[in-house]
Every structure is written in structure tokens, then in C-alpha cells.
Amino acid sequence: MCDDLRKIKRRRKETFFGYNFYTYLVENYPTSFLEATSAPYAKQWDKAIRIEIESIKKNNTWTLINLIKGAKPIGCKWIFRKKYHPDRSIENYKAKLVAKGFTQKSNID
């Protein structure tokens, strides 16, 4: 009954913007853990990473288990952002560790 709500019924359409279409990052955020820890503001990003890991541990968000033979682990990715005051000065640095859930196979058919 709840499974029907989770299944996406909308067909996805691929959009082509042409060969001359480029995307740019508006903000200069790190795109990986390595980039954040070697960036000019590495101390601030390191603090944000530690806060996120402490939060995950405190809230028991994830549980580490031994991987079953033949199973593939779900990957994760760091997302880095800055929060700003209304005057555009930096309020703080935020880091989030997110699971790449899209790699999971669904048992719902």
C-alpha cells in the first residue's frame, strides 16, 4: 500500500540543450572531500566535516555493518555549501554526507 506512493509513475524525458551548452558553478564550492581539505579554507571545511560526522554518530543515522559476500556497498558523497548573512558575509561552512541511494536496486516492480 505504501509502496505505490514511492513508485515514480512519471516518464522521464532527456533534454538536449545543444553542443554549445555549458554549465558553470555560481559559487566556488569544493566538489570532493580531497578538494575541501586542500582548499584555501581547509580549516573551516574540516570543522564542518567533523560537525557532520558527530551529528551522524549522535543521531545514529547510519549503521556500519559487515558487507555480505557478493553485495555492493552504497556509496556516499560530501556536499559542501556556505551559509551567508544578508550582507553576503559568510555565516558558516556546511558539509553534508549523503548516501548515493540511486545506486540501490528496487525490489518494487
For the segment 76-97, what is each residue's pLDDT rounded down to a tens digit? 889 999 998 888 888 999 999 9
Rounded Cα distance between 48 and 43, Å, is: 9
pLDDT at 15 over 80: no
Helices (H) and strands (E) in the chain, counts: 3, 2
For the segment 53-83, what is each residue's pLDDT rounded down to a tens digit? 999 999 998 777 888 898 888 888 899 999 9
* Residues 1-23: b if buried by 16+ CB within 10 A, e if exposed: eeeeeeeeeeeeeeeeeeeeeee
pLDDT at 25 over 70: no
Question: What's the whole-model pTM score?
Answer: 0.64
Handedness of CA 22, 23, 27, 30 (dihedral sign): negative
